[in-house]
Amino acid sequence: DVDLTTSGEDVDAVYVQANGSLIVSTSGSFSVSGASGRDEDLLLFTPTGLGANTSGTWSLYFDGSDVGLTDSSEDVYGVWVDANGDIYLTTAGAFAVTGVSGDGADIFVCAPGSLGSNTSCVFGPGLYWDGSANGYSGEIIDAMTIR
């Protein structure tokens, strides 16, 4: 119903905001009405109707390449947003952005200066959660909820 039709557009991360809109990552490149991008980006879906005939609008929420996520291992794999708007992220593998690097077993945080097609973030300091320091090395975090 809402344009995600190719195998590269399979959803690999989703976060439901309090207002009911969805922040979505896809496993590859995507092109939907209102936005296009790659696996390091996040889409915002604002529903106008749900169920058998889902409808709504898409926009680019987070452009990962703007903040240094450009390698194939830097596919966003997990996303969660706190009450301040800080974005907690995981990737499919090794990643490096200004101020922090890690792998798929780690969680890092973007404090956004801007979002959309001109995304900017302050990262860190350091990892929010270091998987290897917690016995989780070699794994990939593909979903999270932080309380």
Segment 89-130, tens digit of pLDDT: 999 999 999 999 999 999 999 999 999 999 999 998 999 999
Per-residue pLDDT at 48 exceeds 90: yes
CA 124 → CA 30, 59, 71, 97, 135, distances in Å? 28, 26, 20, 10, 21
List, as one string, the DSSP characters of 99-123. Answer: TEEE-TT-BEEEEEEE-BTT-EEEE
Angle of CA points 135, 138, 139, to nearest 5° = 85
Of 35, 17, 18, residue with least CA distance to 9: 35
3-state class (DSSP) for residue 7? helix
Residue 12 DSSP symbol: E
> What pLDDT is attached to residue 1?
78
Domain boundaries, the chain: 7-62, 64-134
